[in-house]
A = this chain, B = another copy of it.
Amino acid sequence: MNFTIRAATKVDCKDISRMIMELALFEKMTDQVKISSEELERDGFCPNPLFECLVAEVPKENKSKEGFTTVGYGLYFYTYSTWKGRSMYLEDLYVMPEFRGFGIGKGLLSTVAKVAKEKHCARLQLSVLDWNAPSRDFYATRGAQDLTVKEGWHLIRFDGQSLDDLGNDAQKK
């Protein structure tokens, strides 16, 4: 199947928003999704965007059952390593189930890596769930290191009440 990978524009936000929800459904965490298409437009398509995004498109004759031609996305942003400098983090990589097996995921990932190289990023990092064996294999096959297995890194999060409490602690001083 032919497909095209291109930088997302504002008008893609509805499709991206739809696929964010599809990915969260697969990850069994839809209750955590609070983002809207309008927020994506505001945050990603402004002078200093908070993220960048690629989308994958198929020709109209190959549209999905529901009529979609935008069938995958890769959303990333720039981070910083105090060991290596400018780096990149791939927040989401997603291809709709009926469009898997055609190289679209690989195309999105390699295009993200190309951007990372062009922007002089020393690293491209991402997170994957331990039960998501197909994704873990997908990245491992392409030479990625699992830093949680290899070096023992754990991901830690403050949010909601724990973040409020921490911030209030500072204000009391």
Contacts and interface: CB of A to CB of B under 8 A. Distances in A.
Main secondary structure of the interface of A (DSSP, over half): mixed
Interface residues of A, number: 78
Interface of A: 20, 23-24, 29, 32-35, 39-40, 43, 48, 50-51, 75, 77-86, 89, 91-92, 106-107, 109-111, 113-114, 116-117, 121-131, 136, 139, 142-149, 151-159, 161-167, 169-171, 173
B79 A77 contact: yes
A125 B22 CA distance: 24
Copies assembled: 2
A166 B24 contact: no
A144 B160 CA distance: 10
B153 A34 contact: no
A113 B144 contact: no
